[in-house]
Chains A and B, each alone.
Chain A
């Protein structure tokens, strides 16, 4: 396992201000230092988790990885249209965090939502069919890659305006407190969303009104093609919580157990005391921003360096060293996961297209007066 490098170590000019009168912010070292302190051995954490859970976490990460690889393949064959943002490299975040909540808790995320959807319990069949724009998709083919939804799973959507889900999640958490339930809400977003007003407005309200919302910033270090150091003046995201007196943590996002543990601590605060938390999870996406990303803004070497800490590889070696799983069992799991993904692909291929009539459904919940909405195709 090689050391992860914080982006500020490799960047140029971060933290350097020359004669602009800007107060010096966190020196580049701070982030690297923080990363070091959280990089405890995953092996120690394994001892606190039961075998079945460990294997379940591993299988889910593997499932999301293989699912996304299959989605990429289908995309390149033209079976999936539009934008397609893959989660490869970040699996430990959604899987670790969602494993720390109950099925009746809520999850909202951004457009990079396939992994979260599967982790929250939507079947890979329904997610793949949604990618294919089919009637069997979890949003009946109307949402696509960026808008997975499932009311039964309390999966409240992938949302495609950067940061847009943050006020929404705050509102879902508001409703839990209003109704007096002990449900918590996980809100995932990328680090680029931290620069949006929606993030700051939401954190302010969440702490002002003590809302059970857990904000999980998946810091994959690039907002599309713009690296963090080119976009954020002060890059210690976890520390931004202090501006709102919100509890926060910095977590190594390549360690599924670290993410799970940090989320569990936040869940306890939210469930018992209606207190929000901001968790910065340092992660890295191995693929482009979307399928159409040429990736010219970073080097192959940089990606490979991060891939040495591939969360799935790291976890499988930990589990093997601890005697939780052996090569034969891993091979068996690989086989069953691939079968599950093949099944999802078949389901998506065979699922019918949405009926043409679906074009006009679901615009309003209460139908509006006849004649007052144009519900005919213009050439009819």
Chain B
């Protein structure tokens, strides 16, 4: 085990899978010669060559669709969006082509493709470059949506995503690329999709958190421990497939739950998780499910406003106290 950054863990995952399977190629803006806008693809061009590590023009719809077409005939593309904000231009190909091809062809054409890149809130880049889009993609049957919160999860889940035979949306939190953690060096280290991780065990309340919210939830749990509340932190890691069973087990144990996300609340993933809990574990709840989300406005630029727009540790603490009637 070595301690590396999220960025390095992702780089290892791509490198190992490309060495393992010659049908895997990487395509996107600035992935090759520039080494990646966020340096996730550093060194890959040198090691794997220009046939497999390909710089594209700024043409997201075009290269996303090209990737889907290549996947139709057996290649396994990794399509990098410099940021997921730009994937919005490519949604026709992601949703209408990648997600639906297997179904509308009656099972004949599966699409083994990974669309990956940074998403979620970034630092002071205003409305168009700072947004969480997972609920869009998770909405569509046919897509899988992955959001790692640690370097180890990032590596294990990305390797699995590349080996998966379906289209995977892999969202890396832009603020977390420098986060460090222990990561296995075993080239066969993978983590199955659809398996939540209990990031911290606890007895009194559950916080369901993903991506950027996981480290915040862990900090909140530390604070709450001091106040006498033992928190369990569940990280679903994949939004679709969603490991609702692990969440329900925790809720049945703690009887209180807060669902945290940095995205907008309306039609969001937390809303879906909250409903699932209500439908399947209502009798176990000692308080209504509490949702903590980003605010329902486009992301502002000003630092003070930006900080207000994303949930912080204090809000998570307050939410757990609320469901604990403290």
Contacts and interface: CB of A to CB of B under 8 A. Distances in A.
Given A164-B93, A164-B97, A198 B61 contact: yes
Given A159-B97, A171-B69, A178-B70, A365 B110 contact: yes
A171 B194 contact: no
A197 B141 CA distance: 26
Interface string A138-157: 11111100010111000011
Interface stretch (B1-9, B238-246, B284-292, B304-312): B238-246
A78 interface: no
Given A167-B93, A362-B102, A156 B57 contact: no
A204 B58 CA distance: 11
A205 B66 CA distance: 9
B87 to A, nearest CB: 14
Contacts of B244: 371-372
A97 interface: no
A92 B252 CA distance: 66
Interface string A363-379: 11110110111000000
A363 B70 contact: no
A38 interface: no
B123 interface: no
Interface in A194-231: 197-198, 201-202, 204-205, 208-209
A361 B25 contact: no
Contacts of A179: 75
A87 interface: no
Contacts of A256: none
Contacts of A159: 96-97
Interface in B95-143: 96-97, 101-110, 112, 141-142
Contacts of B193: 368-369
Contacts of B73: 106, 156, 172, 175-176
A53 B186 CA distance: 59
B144 interface: yes
B243 A372 contact: yes
A166 B107 contact: no
Contact of B242 (A197, A208, A372): A372
A204 B59 contact: yes
B62 A198 contact: yes
Given A151-B108, A204-B59, A368-B144, A172 B70 contact: yes
B71 interface: yes
A352 to B, nearest CB: 14
Nearest to A161: B96
Contacts of B62: 167, 170, 197-198, 201-202, 204-205
A245 to B, nearest CB: 14
A168 B65 CA distance: 5
A74 to B, nearest CB: 20
B166 A178 contact: no
Contacts of B72: 156, 168, 171-172, 175
B184 interface: no
The 6 closest A-B pairs by CB, nearest first: A171-B69, A167-B65, A201-B62, A140-B106, A372-B241, A369-B194
Interface of B: 25, 51, 54, 56-57, 59, 61-75, 77, 92-93, 96-97, 101-110, 112, 141-142, 144, 164-166, 192-195, 240-245
